[in-house]
């Protein structure tokens, strides 16, 4: 089939890759001057296959009053009263109850395992330069009670085939001595040795160059899609500012722009933007080697070759992509507190913000859209980098088998 993929971020690039590997003729359209922009450009850098808990969960429900009052530093919600926002929020809150969260976690762990295997398959075929690290991920817990609670979650992950180790403080320090200078106390951590890291934007651009040269994918940048093109109830192409492109099928992998494009054919996607922030600075000798998550502060650190990246916050505060000055200041203060000597924070790049396209359950939308000719690979939230390869391979199998 001739297939058009809309979106040149990591989800679109991996979708195009596996569709081309399956023998389809693929054309990718990206509105930015190059791929790997948008939320792919500055995410946390972690391929956290064993850490895919959805945002909606019982702990968030318990904190919800404090969040609404602006007393939670990690999560910010500014209620909006449009129909789509109210519907999404109601569905999101319904997901915060235990059985629903556990079901979503199980689904995400399955997809994460597929993604880890698919990434390994891809890297065995293509030499991609993206500051790839394979040192595992450590999640720090402030006190023994929370660390003990994490042990039960570790058992669930082991049942899905992940290697998980619960470490006391001394073993955490032995794993990465940089934690001796960490700005918060911690009782221990949960270590996932199979987790990885890398620069998602660099990966995406390298992958697009590879599939263009080796698999014949047509890549069109600086090309904005106005609407989906439908004929006799079937999606048969896309309308651009400079004409129409026809295809046998269209894959909507446009991140936060997916709901707008779906709406052009009357399709309502349950996706809302959840804004995250990151900061990247030259790493110093005291920078951590393993990827880190501070469970209490809800912040992650990833070593990307000679850089250290930190990412934090989950803000449901509308569709504006702008960096909020108070959030930038808060992130800068937090990284200086936690790893004062880990990076040259005075030479950091400007604080970045990205709108993560999230479904209420945290599960991405993968496969048939319900409209003939249109397929979805959208709504990955903060897990797009982690789930991209598995989602793409799954999508290609769905399309190829009809």
Query: Averaged over 42-47, what is the pLDDT?
Result: 97
| Rounded average pLDDT over 87-102 | 83
pLDDT digits (tens, 9 = 90+) for 287-340: 999 999 999 899 999 999 999 999 999 998 888 999 999 999 999 999 999 999
Q: Give pLDDT, residue 285.
A: 95
Q: In this predicted structure, what is the pLDDT of residue 61?
A: 60
- Cα dihedral 105, 108, 114, 115 in deg (nearest 10): -130
Q: Which segments of 162-263 does DSSP mark as H helices, in order?
A: 169-175, 200-214, 258-263
Enumerate the domain spans of the chain: 2-400
What is the pLDDT averaged over residues 181-208?
97
Q: What's the pLDDT tens digit per position in 221-233?
A: 999 999 999 999 9
- Ramachandran sector of residue 224 (left: φ over 0; alpha: ψ -120 to 50; beta: rest): beta
381 phi and psi angles, rounded to 5 deg:
60, -140
User: In which residue are the tokens 């199998």 written?
Assistant: 397
Work out the pLDDT band at 9, boundaries 50, 70, 90.
Answer: very high
Q: Which of 55-69, 353-367, 368-382 has the lowest mean pLDDT?
A: 55-69
40 versus 79: the higher-pLDDT residue is 40
What topology is assigned to 2-400 in CATH?
Answer: FAD/NAD(P)-binding domain (3.50.50)
Which pLDDT value is given to residue 242? 86
Residue 398's alpha-carbon distances to 327, 352, 391, 402, in angstroms, are 41, 35, 11, 6
Q: What is the pTM of this model?
A: 0.96
Of 5-9, 49-53, 317-321, 342-346, the one with minimum mean pLDDT is 317-321
């Amino acid at each position: 089939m001739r297939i058009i993929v809309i979106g040149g971020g990591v989800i679109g690039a991996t979708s195009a890759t596996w569709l081309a590997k399956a023998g389809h003729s693929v054309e990718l359209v990206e509105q930015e001057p190059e791929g790997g922009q948008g939320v792919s450009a500055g995410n946390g850098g972690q391929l956290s296959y064993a850490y895919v808990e959805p945002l909606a969960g019982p702990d968030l429900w318990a904190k919800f009053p404090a969040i609404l009052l602006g007393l939670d530093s990690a999560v910010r919600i500014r209620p909006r009263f449009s129909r789509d926002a109210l519907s999404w929020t109601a569905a999101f809150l319904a997901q915060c109850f235990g059985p629903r969260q556990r079901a979503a976690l199980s689904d995400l762990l399955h997809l994460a395992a597929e993604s880890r295997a698919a990434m390994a398959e891809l890297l065995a075929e293509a030499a991609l330069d993206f500051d790839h690290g394979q040192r595992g991920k450590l999640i720090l817990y402030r006190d023994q009670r929370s660390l003990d609670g994490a042990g039960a979650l570790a058992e669930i992950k082991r049942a899905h085939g992940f290697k998980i180790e619960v470490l006391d403080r001394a073993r955490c320090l032995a794993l990465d001595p940089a934690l001796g200078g960490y700005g918060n106390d911690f009782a221990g951590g949960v270590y996932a040795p199979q987790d990885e890291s890398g620069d998602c934007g660099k990966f995406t651009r390298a992958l697009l160059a590879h599939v263009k040269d080796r698999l014949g994918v047509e890549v069109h940048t600086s090309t904005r899609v106005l609407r989906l093109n439908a004929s006799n109830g079937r999606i048969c192409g896309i309308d651009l500012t400079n004409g129409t492109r026809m295809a046998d099928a269209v894959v909507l992998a446009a991140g936060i722009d997916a709901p707008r494009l779906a709406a052009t054919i009357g399709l309502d996607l349950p996706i809302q933007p959840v804004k995250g922030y990151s900061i990247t600075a030259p790493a110093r000798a005291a920078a951590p080697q393993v990827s880190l998550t501070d469970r209490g502060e809800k912040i992650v650190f990833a070593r990307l070759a000679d850089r250290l990246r930190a990412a934090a916050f989950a803000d449901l505060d509308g569709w504006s992509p702008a960096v909020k000055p108070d959030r930038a200041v808060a992130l800068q203060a937090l990284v200086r507190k936690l790893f004062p000597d880990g990076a040259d924070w005075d030479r950091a790049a400007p604080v970045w913000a990205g709108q993560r396209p999230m479904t209420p359950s945290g599960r991405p939308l993968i496969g048939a859209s319900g409209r003939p000719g249109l397929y979805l690979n959208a709504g990955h939230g903060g897990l797009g980098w982690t789930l991209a390869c598995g989602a793409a391979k799954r999508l290609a199998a769905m399309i190829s088998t009809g």
